[in-house]
Amino acid sequence: MEQPNLSYINQLSGNDKAFKDKLIGVVKREFPEEKAIYVKNISANNYKEAAENVHKLKHKISILGLEKSYAVADDYENNLLEQNTSGKAEFDAILQAITDYLTTI
């Protein structure tokens, strides 16, 4: 599985450390909230809402340089819209990898 990284954030921020720190701060603040809402909706079988949550989480996946994981999330989002949870385990593994990574930066 690919690992989250700061390549895209570094590219966006250039040499501006304050901007980089701000971007990282936003991701660290928003990701756990968005993940918790997704977990709540998927646990309640609210697939349409969970698909919307996945859509929001895809932005964090992209920002953290996870190109292959973005494609997995996109497929999973489409499956949820069809009331199908295929791809859930892979998506949940991506969320866990991000959670673990955010504790290290």
Report pLDDT digits (tens) over 30-85: 999 999 999 999 999 999 999 999 999 999 999 999 999 999 999 999 999 999 99
Residue 22 lies in a domain: yes
Residue 58 lies in a domain: yes
Residue 74 lies in a domain: yes
Residue 92 lies in a domain: yes
Which pLDDT belongs to residue 83? 97
What's the total number of domains in the chain? 1
Residue 96 lies in a domain: yes
Q: How far apart are CA 33 and CA 26, in angstroms?
A: 11
What DSSP assignment string belongs to 2-38?
----SHHHHHHHTT-HHHHHHHHHHHHHHHHHHHHHH
Which pLDDT belongs to residue 1? 78
**Phi, psi for residue 82 in degrees, rounded to 5:** -100, 15
Residue numbers of the domain that contains 87: 17-102
What DSSP assignment string belongs to 49-85?
HHHHHHHHHHHHHHHTT-HHHHHHHHHHHHHHHTT--
Instruction: Examine the pLDDT at 15 and tell me if it is beyond 90.
Output: no
Which pLDDT belongs to residue 43? 98
Residue 44 lies in a domain: yes
- Per-residue pLDDT band for 100 (boundaries 50, 70, 90) equals very high
Residue 6 lies in a domain: no
Residue 3 lies in a domain: no
pTM, two decimals, is 0.94
